[in-house]
A and B are shown apart, each in its own frame.
Chain A
Amino acid sequence: MSLPLALDVASAKPAGKRPYFMEQEVERVLGIAMAAVQELAVARQRMDTLERILEAKGVMTRDEINAFRPDADQAAERGLWMQEYLVRVLRNVQQEGEAIKADARGDIRSEEVAAELSEDA
């Protein structure tokens, strides 16, 4: 199998120094965002394929997707999933918020604790 090889070299840099049009940090984040945008499109296309195959097989119609209304339990499960998802995606925002109070309480760096623990030795 060539998969390990593909993992190593698929994202290889082409020869030639890369130009940057913005701050490198900004462009790095943009690059990751555009790759995620691409993969969302891929996932959306896959879902569309699935729906059309199911429809062609007579399993369902796509109109049923639009007409779908979750019952109370389903709605709760779906709402919970969305909450879990957002907590995961926006983890760093939450942590930056928690840091405001933690800093006020005197949050300390691990390396400072390391120094402190070494002093005791």
Chain B
Amino acid sequence: MTASPSIANAGPAQTYDGPPDYQAVGRHAVFPETDHDEVARLNFLAQMNRHLSTRVMPFVKTAWEQRVEPNLVKTSGQPKSRHDVRKALTADPMFQTWSALRRLTMEQRQQAGRWTAVRQAESLAAKVRDLTEGDPRLQLNPDLPIPRYVSAVDHHCMPGSYHSELFEGDVSVAASYDHGIFATTGGMLGRYLDGGGQAVAAWMKKTHPDFQPRRILDIGCTLGHNIVPIAQAFPEAEVIAIDVGAPMLRYGLARAKSLGVENITFVQADGSDLSRWADGHFDWVQTTMFLHELSYASMKAIFAESHRVLAPDGFVLHVEQPQYTPDMSLFEQAMRDWDCFYNNEPFWSTLHEIDLDGWLVEAGFARDRLLHVGVTAVVDRELFPDAADDDSEDFGRKAAWHVIGARK
């Protein structure tokens, strides 16, 4: 019931262009409870990110074109790299304002999510325990060393990263990540953050309809949101999801089970050492938005191990933000580098300039069996924005990815 005049197809919803209301997110059995104000906070932060990317960031481009670039060329000549561009931008007040607000918005998102998750940390841990205790599909290894690339800085300013626990059995880092990422993506990952996995599964079914993977490995699974849709699309497959962070794995299994997904085993392991699995054990090795959080050494090892554990004709697929290429302007490269320098994503910049094709070949894949595919998140378009229709750009954060991979 509403007192406002209601004319069919002429309400505010028809012309609204922005993030959906947070209440549209999917809630599973271990999703944290959110009260009115916590929801309002996440709605505000999603709108804030949208505002920054659509209404403030364009001014950074204007500032670059109108004053930063001409000044730079006059004083130092043409910029030779994205780093020259970024260094020049850091002195510009528009870049400073946008950057300060973007950083603060991320910090506020982490604070908001952490508050909600930690205030109910004990009940969340109990719910997760009830769903996972004694389940052979949760295999933790408390002695696993946490790699330097995870422990040195907390990725995307997330205090505690993926692995730390406030008490034994705590899952608050996973709960914060799960329910708060909406603020950063404005709903573009879909109801259960599964738009990326759905897109990959749909691509596989469409392009290789006869492919029936027996075993699938997801490396760096975090809370399983990217592998759940693949496990759903291939219910006959045995899926192994690995991560170094125990809280993510506990939460991931409880979450998957409560969504009715029973074919995933969550294992605490480092992708650079897959020695527990024999050569050719898997038909599909998947990573999603994972490579940019690694290091040279770990990525080389993960590529080599991925090749080893793949069966002949098996697929390896890495979903990532697009690589920097010579036809991408130095300004765009510098803007895409922002997360590396200012959002605790230390490998982001390096990754995007690597010759990934060359690395895959070095790991053992045949050059003529390499794959490059563009995908956008598959979402319920009634409620969620579709990245394929969205012409805004939030350099490095849009739900439009590049899949690089190979068939063995």
Interface residues in chain A, defined as those with a beta carbon under 8 Å from any beta carbon in chain B:
1-3, 5-6, 9-16, 19-22, 27, 30-31, 34-35, 38, 41-42, 45-46, 49, 55-56, 61-63
Contact = CB atoms under 8 A, between A and B. Distances in A.
A10 B43 contact: no
B341 A15 contact: no
Contact of B96 (A22, A34, A35): A22
Nearest to B121: A2
Contacts of B123: 2
* Interface size, B (range): 35 or more
Given A2-B121, A56-B1, A42 B41 contact: yes
B36 A46 contact: yes
Query: A interface, by DSSP: helix, strand, loop or mixed?
Result: helix
Contacts of B152: 15-16
Interface of B: 1-4, 36-37, 40-41, 43-45, 48, 90, 95-97, 99-101, 103-105, 107-108, 110-111, 114-115, 118-123, 151-154, 157-161, 166, 341-342, 344
Contacts of A10: 111, 114-115, 118-119
Contact of B37 (A3, A19, A22, A46): A46
A76 to B, nearest CB: 30
Nearest to B154: A14
Contact of A6 (B1, B3, B45, B119): B119
Contact of A14 (B41, B118, B120, B157): B157
B103 A5 contact: no
6 contacts: A2-B122, A16-B152, A30-B104, A38-B45, A46-B37, A55-B1
Contacts of A61: 3
Given A2-B118, A21-B100, A46-B40, A12 B3 contact: no
Contacts of B161: 14-15
Contacts of A31: 104, 107
Nearest to A40: B44
B153 A41 contact: no
B2 to A, nearest CB: 8
Closest 5 CB pairs of A and B: A16-B153, A14-B154, A45-B40, A10-B115, A6-B118
Contacts of B104: 27, 30-31, 34
Contact of B44 (A14, A41, A49, A62): A41
Contact of B341 (A9, A14, A19, A27): A19
A49 B44 CA distance: 15
Contacts of A13: 159
